[in-house]
Amino acid sequence: MAFLFRPFQRSYNYLYRTAHEKPVMFYSVVLGVIGPVMTIAIPPLRESFGYVPPPAVPSSYPLPNRPRRPLSGYDDE
């Protein structure tokens, strides 16, 4: 049964050694792995803490429900 866990032990030893010898590369990989995990894990956590998303920003200005009046008094002509 020990042979089943041998690859995990080798991976752990490799990560341990890399963290000491090449910390920049190790932590870059760690942050790179955490990013996609956070995209899946964070939205449910936010909802569980009571976060309510803000209302959507309107994409256009609402037009009034009345006929348009011509402008006067601006001397454009």
6 pLDDT band, cuts 50/70/90, is: confident
In a domain, 34, yes or no: yes
Q: What is the extent of the structural domain holding 33?
A: 13-46
In a domain, 24, yes or no: yes
pLDDT of residue 75: 67
Measured CA distances, 55 to 21, 58, 64 (Å): 49, 9, 21
pLDDT of residue 10: 84
* Number of domains present in the structure of the chain: 1
Give pLDDT tens digits for 19-70.
999 999 999 989 999 999 999 999 999 999 999 999 998 888 888 888 888 8
In a domain, 29, yes or no: yes
pTM of the predicted model as reported, rounded to 2 decimal places: 0.50
In a domain, 69, yes or no: no
In a domain, 42, yes or no: yes
